[in-house]
A and B are shown apart, each in its own frame.
Chain A
Amino acid sequence: MTEEIIIAGFGGQGVLSMGKILAYSGIMQNQEVSWMPSYGPEMRGGTANVTVVLSDERISSPVINSYDTAIILNQQSMDKFVDTVKPGGLLIYDPNGITHHPERKDINIYTIEASEEAGKQGLMKTFNMIVLGGFLKLKPLIQPEFIHKGLEKSLPARHHKLIPENEKAIEVGKELIKAVQLV
């Protein structure tokens, strides 16, 4: 199994940390992982993205031009990455702020109203975990116990008290994910 994922959105949406938690959880589950971020000025208030690869084998390239899954959190990222999803692949996006919805017919498309739900439930800090929950519902690549360990490893000890809140957000996300198009 090799899963190649791009997560993209605004800086500050927790894109990089979502990727990091996913990658650390992968390590906990004894998988090979890579996490390659965009970096530099484009991060400051602009778009942020991270490529995460989870695999049972040694990972060759951490830099990829087509993905099994794209998790898209703003319009700029949609424009940039919609065409990079492999045919038959998965696109998850938060429709909040999306003006041009994806038109591809050869991929599976889901929406997750994560920012709206996070606002309602006062879970803005765990918005990214809601999105991660949606992804894990569709692709349960990592078992919950390893996600727990991944959170422990990713978050500094002083934030460990927030782990239950993060796990709750993941569960919220699993309920929230909605199919738009299946191929």
Chain B
Amino acid sequence: MKELRLMKGNEAVAEAAIRAGCDGYFGYPITPQSEVMEYLMYQEPHKTTGMVVLQAESEVAAINMVYGGASCGKRVMTSSSSPGISLKQEGISYIAGAELPCLIVNVVRGGPGLGTIQPAQSDYFQSTKGGGHGDYRLLVLAPASVQEMADFAGLGFELAFKYRNPVLILSDGVIGQMMEKVELQPHQPRFTKEEIKANTPWATYGKTDDRGRNIITSLDLDSHKQEKHVTHLAEKYQAMEENEVRYEEFQTEDAEYLIVAYGSSARISQKAVDIARAKGIKVGLLRPITLFPFPKKPLAKLATQVKGILSVEMSLGQMVEDVKLAVECKIKVEHFGRYGGIIPTPDEVVAALEQKIIGG
């Protein structure tokens, strides 16, 4: 029988990480994601799988612990919420530059600054356009359910190692705090020393006579080499765009209008679609699952079918820019959002659709 549990999103990602063979978690408390580390500490996975869980002195230290662990070819992760993720940006940039695999979870709260502890989606730019200094991208997964919080832990590690690139799970206070039914995957063992040697021959696990030194660095004082390196990174991001776009469509077959929304906004928008359809409005929903790479092609295709698109986000309007780029401004694209920790209601989404897209 399937193992079903009622779990918070924060707990689900933690449990799924243990089961995905995670070697180490390094974190620092911040609302609304503290349950991730609390759950891990309570489970004591060092006694079962050998996974290390460590409360660091700061988010800065935590992400640099991730850098150190990832450099050893280990499956390592951290989690935080918006202000803490800002602190981690230095380390994330180094990790991307040094091409290290790791998993980062952001349970977004409203900003800027200390902002609010309530849910928001105002870290979209930071997540999808780099975040720290330099030319780089994270592969960004946006869960819309507790089940996906669990599923994306394993998927995140898989993609991180596939591309030697940090993967970000961009969640929010709704998905992190709510409980839903979760079907958990069976345990996957942690990497053995032999697997690390075979799968991550670049890792720093001690130089042996059969190979040269392994150096993990993001530094190249020779600008020509650095340019080459950044070009190589760009090729990786291109490959992600070609291979890793994930999205979901609801009731788009006959849609005359389209809502684009991710994460908890997609859940709210799905209900808005039901309400609007009951009123006779033919509207569908496209939910990007990967925010980078962004589902440009399916959006461009739907743009030839629908009359207008409403981008729904819990922000002032960030993803809406990518939506406009994807449809090359050929049709009307408007943004609707609540922000500062306010969650839009399905009725508000329907009203915005009627006012900004249908009536406008």
Contacts and interface: CB of A to CB of B under 8 A. Distances in A.
Q: Are A and B close enough to touch in the complex, i.e. CB under 8 Å?
A: yes
Interface of A: 20, 23-24, 27, 32-37, 39-41, 59-65, 153-154
Contacts of A24: 6
A161 B4 CA distance: 23
Interface stretch (B192-200, B215-223, B268-276): B268-276
Contacts of B271: 60-61, 64
A60 B287 CA distance: 13
Quick one: which of B5, B173, B178, B179 has the most chain A CB within 10 A? B179
A63 B345 contact: yes
B340 interface: no
- B-side interface mostly: mixed
Contacts of A39: 31-32, 117, 173, 177
Contacts of B103: none
A98 B37 CA distance: 39
B347 interface: yes
Contacts of B268: 60-61, 63
A62 B271 CA distance: 9
Given A34-B180, A36-B174, A63 B6 contact: no
Given A39-B32, A63-B345, A65-B347, A20 B6 contact: yes
Contacts of B343: 63
Contact of B6 (A23, A36, A37, A41): A23
B86 interface: no
B181 interface: yes
A63 B341 CA distance: 13
Nearest to A153: B6
Given A34-B178, A39-B32, A39-B177, A60 B267 contact: yes
A23 B5 CA distance: 10
Interface residues of B, number: 24
Contact of A36 (B31, B177, B347): B177
A34 B270 CA distance: 15
B264 interface: yes
Contacts of A62: 174, 178, 180, 264, 267
Contacts of B347: 65
B264 A35 contact: no
A82 B311 CA distance: 32
28 contacts: A23-B179, A24-B6, A27-B181, A32-B181, A33-B6, A33-B181, A34-B178, A35-B180, A36-B174, A37-B178, A39-B31, A39-B177, A59-B267, A60-B271, A60-B274, A60-B346, A61-B267, A62-B174, A62-B180, A63-B174, A63-B267, A63-B268, A63-B343, A64-B345, A64-B346, A65-B345, A65-B346, A154-B6
A60 B180 CA distance: 12
